[in-house]
């Protein structure tokens, strides 16, 4: 049996491709159009896993599927191969944010790690949002100030429209000629990280944002 190899964002991407195919059937598109949509979706899915084994490639191949039931069964099978977010303890979280002596932590036991690309929670009392993500196989964390935005907007992480907050954080980068130098960076992201984790299909920008925020800081 093949090992778990599908990350949350990749699963969401596949799910979106399946939705596009289903939609083509529902709209009674011409057979050649449906085939083109399927071929493109299949190619994009396979490209997500350049190191996939032959067994995994067969599992990912949806070219022979036709009915909603077959696509649902396909997605359900892939769920068994979801690679969970790395397990993390309260002690590790406290170590990531040592300056927050009264750090309010999320209930880790209630989190479904299979459905996380990143871990995030808010502390209303300090108006802070904390983000934990795996960068180069190591968990790192940043803290941000946040403010809710009255109008829906595009989230920088999942690139979907919804309720967002503006977050800002001070980078750890330093300039040799100016030790007092600091740079604040900000973005609009989903206020509810659980919703963002359901929609995110690519973690490239999330990775870039965390790396820029951390600067020269040593990751844990």
CA atoms within 13 A on the CB side of 71: 18
- The reported pLDDT for the residue numbered 174 is 58
| Per-domain residue ranges of the chain | 8-79, 90-214
- The reported pLDDT for the residue numbered 181 is 58
- The reported pLDDT for the residue numbered 210 is 94
What is the residue-wise DSSP string for 17-80?
HHHHHHHHHHTT--HHHHHHHHHHHHHHHHHT-TT--HHHHHHH--TT--SHHHHHHHHHHHHT
- The reported pLDDT for the residue numbered 220 is 40
- Cβ atoms of 67 and 38 within 8 Å: the answer is no
Quote the pTM value: 0.90
Identify the CA nearest to 49 among candidates 37, 60, 40, 39: 60
Run means of pLDDT, 10 residues per run, the chain, 220 residues: 92 98 95 96 97 96 95 98 96 92 91 96 94 95 94 97 94 61 85 97 96 65
> Measured between alpha carbons, how far is 116 from 87 in angstroms, rounded to an integer?
11
- The reported pLDDT for the residue numbered 105 is 93
Structure tokens at 14: 């596949």
């Amino acid at each position: 049996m093949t090992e778990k190899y599908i990350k949350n964002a990749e699963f969401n991407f596949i799910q979106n491709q399946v939705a596009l195919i289903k939609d083509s059937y529902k709209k009674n598109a011409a057979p050649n159009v449906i085939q083109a949509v399927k071929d493109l979706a299949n190619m994009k899915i396979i490209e997500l896993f350049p190191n996939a084994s032959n067994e995994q490639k067969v599992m990912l191949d949806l070219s022979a599927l036709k009915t909603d039931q077959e696509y649902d069964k396909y997605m359900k099978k892939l769920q068994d191969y979801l690679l969970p977010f790395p397990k993390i303890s309260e002690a590790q979280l406290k170590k990531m944010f040592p300056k927050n002596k009264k750090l309010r932590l999320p209930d880790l036991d209630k989190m479904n790690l299979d459905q996380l690309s990143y871990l995030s929670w808010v502390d209303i009392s300090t108006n802070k949002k904390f983000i934990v993500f795996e960068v180069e196989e190591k968990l790192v964390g940043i803290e941000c100030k946040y403010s809710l935005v009255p109008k829906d907007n595009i989230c920088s992480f999942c690139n979907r429209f919804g309720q967002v907050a503006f977050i800002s954080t001070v980078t750890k980068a330093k300039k040799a000629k100016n030790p007092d130098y600091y740079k604040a960076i900000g973005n609009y992201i989903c206020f509810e990280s659980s919703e963002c984790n359901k929609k995110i299909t690519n973690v490239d920008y999330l990775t870039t944002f965390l790396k820029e925020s951390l600067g020269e800081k040593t990751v844990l």
